Amino acid sequence: MTNSSTPDDRIPVIVGVGEIVDRPEKITEGLEPLTLLEQALKRAEADSGGKLIGDIGSLDVVNFLSWRYRDPEMQLARRLGITPTHLYYGPVGGESPIRYLHEAAQRIARGECSVAAVCGAEAQSTATKAERAGLTPPWTPFAHDVEEPKRGAAFQKPLAVKLGVFRPVTVYPFYEAATSAHWGQTPREAVAESGQLWSTYSAVASQNPNAWLKRRFSPNEITTPTADNRLIAWPYTKLMVANPTVNMGGAVLLTSLAKAKAAGIAEDRLVHIWGGASAEEPRDYLLRDQFYESHPQNAVLQAVMDLVGGDGRKFDAIELYSCFPCVPKMARRTLGLGADVQPTVTGGLTFFGAPLNTYMTHAACAMVPKLRNGARLGLLYGQGGFVTKHHALVLSRQVPQEALAQDASVQAEADRNKRAVPDFVTEAKGRGAVESFTMLYGRNGDIEHGVVMLRTAEGARTLARVPPRDGATLAHLLNMDRTPVGSSGDIVTADDGVLEWRVG
């Protein structure tokens, strides 16, 4: 059955998904990202049961960081022997695969193309091993003259960079501490929720043939620091963060319903795109009003719930982005789902693997078979930056009741809920109340220093260091049975001009 108000050539459907995982015995046998992209696309075409690659009119390539090419999207098109009218290699962002899928579907709905592809790949495992061994893999020559894309530190304040809180693993803890305090959890309860959630992700990865780490971990194994599972930034151990050292490629093929029928693709292979939503925060995370919720995330998830009648429980196949536990913990609450949520069809960025920006390509590849095999409504929620960029998409085997909307932005709704942003200062004195905090650890497990995000007596925001010698303040911050968020202490200026904070 089709939506009678929309012609078949304007109804986008996903028809094929393909993945490749490369585990070479020798470094020199490792496949480069371009080859992984090409192979994933060919596997997606084979999965569709049709001959579609030659008709690709829209090709989006997810940004990759393990190797640098000049115009990789053009090189891939040449390898495939195609000349798409839309050819795009995008910026860094974990939400980007979902955005590209959504935009590709919209192009088909507008009649701009009849076949579209979204693909991404990384070969970080091989690239890292080659660098450590002093080898140059026999790949397309590295494009040294191509500028590296802007990432974390480029958008952050100098003080954040100086204190080490400019990378994902050191910024997400601010959300972790602030959200758990807001929800009334003790740190012990918050860590326990993270461990249980991550154990659920690992269980799915253990059954996914494309996962990098096919092993189920118990909550305690995940949250307990050991020599092999060291603390990186409080409260995150190694098994609570994304693992980018993988070699993977993924691809999704879309076409119109009319083209799918003409190609003889079986109806039970088709997955429909109902719609989705996007919104974002400022790149500088210190320009946000607070850290216990994300207005863009809320607006995006509310919009996709509205597509299915306003109830997040209607989704029976879900992928909640999982770079760090706070993201799916926040998302499942907005969706109205309990702690027993099944948050993934893929396995998560720790266990399935985190091919950097393209994890959600693999999530789409895992979602399609779920829908083909009986799930009714699928939710793909991707996120990028530091809880910065958000995009979600609703998929179903059922034909949508309405034509695909062309405006996916819910930015106005997100901005409407934003409260006043405190001024950021680098000079302060007197009392300061903890807005959030983290602790940075060395490879030997010792604390390098703590970082507290403070609100001054005047209501301004600042960052302050807690030196490792200040045992009383460290113990206060790391109390597992009482959150330090909201507690007050003294702000002082250290000899190097950096603010420090001590409890008292």
Answer whether 8-143+244-416 and 430-503 agree in fold. no
CA angle (221 as vertex; 215, 222 as ends), nearest 5: 85
Q: What is the pLDDT of residue 2?
A: 47
Q: What is the pLDDT of residue 1?
A: 37
The whole-number pLDDT of residue 453 equals 98
Could you tell me the CATH superfamily of domain 8-143+244-416?
A: Thiolase/Chalcone synthase (3.40.47.10)
Which residues of the chain, if any, have pLDDT below 70?
1-4
What are the Cα distances from residue 195, in Å, to 170, 188, 334, 405, 484? Answer: 18, 11, 20, 38, 21
What gap in Å lies between CA 32 and CA 22, rounded to an integer?
10
pLDDT score of 4: 56
| 0.85 surpassed by pTM | yes
CATH, domain 430-503, list 1.25.10.10, 1.20.1250.20, 3.30.342.10, 2.40.50.840: 2.40.50.840
CB 13 within 8 A of CB 257: yes
- Sequence-distant (6+) residues with CB within 8 A of 119 are 37, 40, 41, 44, 59, 60, 61, 62, 76, 249, 250, 251, 252, 361
Domain boundaries, the chain: 8-143+244-416, 430-503
What value does the CA radius of gyration of the chain take, rounded to a whole number of Å? 23
pLDDT for the residue 242: 96
